[in-house]
Amino acid sequence: MPTRRQLLEKWWLLPVGATVGVFGYMGYYASRVTFGKAKPGAPDYLAGPAVRVAALSELGSVWAQREFIYGKRPCILLRLPTATSGSLQVGNRHYAAFSRICTHLGCTVNLVKDPEVLAFSFSYRPPDGEPKLGCPCHFSVFDPLRSGEAVFGKARAPLPRVRLEVRGAALWASGIEAAPVLGT
């Protein structure tokens, strides 16, 4: 059995071991959040009832937006400057819709048009200068031009996409991708 003196001589191992453990976990977490982000694949919509979202005339300019509810989830419809995976092209216009529920812990994301707001509030400067969807709770950023991919922050999964259809002169939602498990 070790003596009290022998135990006290080894006491320094406890804080050193705890420090190494904390820094090890921080490195693991940082690499997971930075390099472990899932890329959106081909759209995999769950069919649902058709819901009228907006008239085409309501989205007259690029980055025009319209919020709506689909399947009890708040969603956002955007007019994009270019086509993306899962977007809808009508003439020379491109539209995409996403769930507004952040895939990190479920807060509501908003369209942030000003890159300076993204830089100041979210600590993220978009390389393309285009608007992004930002979560005000934990400052995750999603790129609508990359099909809702999480590009910054704690969120690792992309935003679920909403299937859009044109019926007459209006856009309708008719399906949505499954929501990922929050916090994974």
Residue 39 burial by CB count (10 A; 0-12/13-18/19+): exposed, middle or buried? exposed
- Calpha distance 20→90 (Å, rounded): 56
Question: pLDDT by residue (tens digit) across 13-61?
Answer: 888 888 999 988 888 877 777 788 889 999 999 999 999 999 999 999 9
Instruction: Please state, in angstroms and rounded to a whole number, the distance separating the CA atoms of residues 182 and 14.
Output: 35
Position 184 pLDDT exceeds 90: no
Same domain, 100 and 142: yes
Considering the domain architecture, whether residues 20 and 92 belong to the same structural domain is answered as no
97-111 mean pLDDT: 96
Residues 91 and 165 in one domain: yes
Q: pLDDT tens across 121-134, in order? A: 999 999 999 999 99
Check whether 98 has a pLDDT greater than 70: yes
> pTM of the full predicted structure?
0.87
Cβ contact 33:51 at 8 Å: no
Q: Are residues 79 and 25 in the same domain?
A: no
Of all residues in the chain, the percent with pLDDT exceeding 90 is 75
Say if CB 147 and CB 111 are below 8 A apart: no
CA distances to 39, 132, 159 from 146, in Å: 9, 10, 10
- Same domain assignment for residues 76 and 10: no
Integer Cα distance of 62 and 41 in angstroms: 24
Counted domains in the chain: 2
Q: What is the span of the domain harbouring residue 99?
A: 45-177
More confident call, 138 vs 183: 138
pLDDT for the residue numbered 53: 96
In a shared domain, residues 57 and 146: yes
